[in-house]
Amino acid sequence: MDPLEQLCEVAASFFQRGYAFGSTGNLSLVLGDSVWITPTGGSLRNLTPDRMARIDFDGNPLNGNKASKEFPFHLAAYKGAGSRARALVHLHCTYSVALSCLDTLDEAEPLPVFTPYYLMRVAPLAVLPYFRPGSADLASAVGASAVDHDSMLLRNHGVICLGSTLEEAVDRTEELEETAKLWFLTRSEKLRLLTSAERADIEKTFRKR
């Protein structure tokens, strides 16, 4: 499948499953020497490749479509991550945003490790301070975090997940949202967490890099 068609299909799937709503969320792909990103003000529900915006790594437009206002943090993330990242998903999915709004959030370990898949696909999860959407400060924070993190929780905002492929970024995003959902559903229960030995075994067997 053409990469832009795949991105539009993924975007529509996010919308249909409730991961995105209204005109929220944006996705991007690095293709060659440019970045293709979802357009500003558009819903993920009905994107088509001809509506995607193409920009260079300095943010200059390369076609007639206007990029999402969040394009600065997409570019900053790619620069911070280097060749490790070729796709980015940013969503305001319900449980992850709820997590980001908790005043009592443990920023060192924002989610307990109770499944191996969270450890394999998401952790470590960086928690970034609140910045106004679209601001230069947000882009700077994302760029710095992307040096060491593929998963980020933006305070009072949403999630950013990077991937070497679009599929990897999507899997990471879905795993993060579902883990946040599980945590809210079980937070009043006594949970069995993975032991340090079990976590070490996962890290050794499925070392991400």
Annotated catalytic sites, by residue?
70, 117
Task: Supply φ then ψ for residue 65, to 5 degrees.
Answer: -95, 140
How far is residue 66's CA from residue 53's CA, in Å, rounded to a whole number? 6
How far is residue 175's CA from residue 56's CA, in Å, rounded to a whole number? 30
Largest Cα separation within the chain, whole Å, is 54
Calculated CA dihedral for residues 157, 151, 7, 95, nearest 10 degrees:
-50
Secondary structure percentages of the chain, helix, strand, coil, to 5: 45, 15, 40
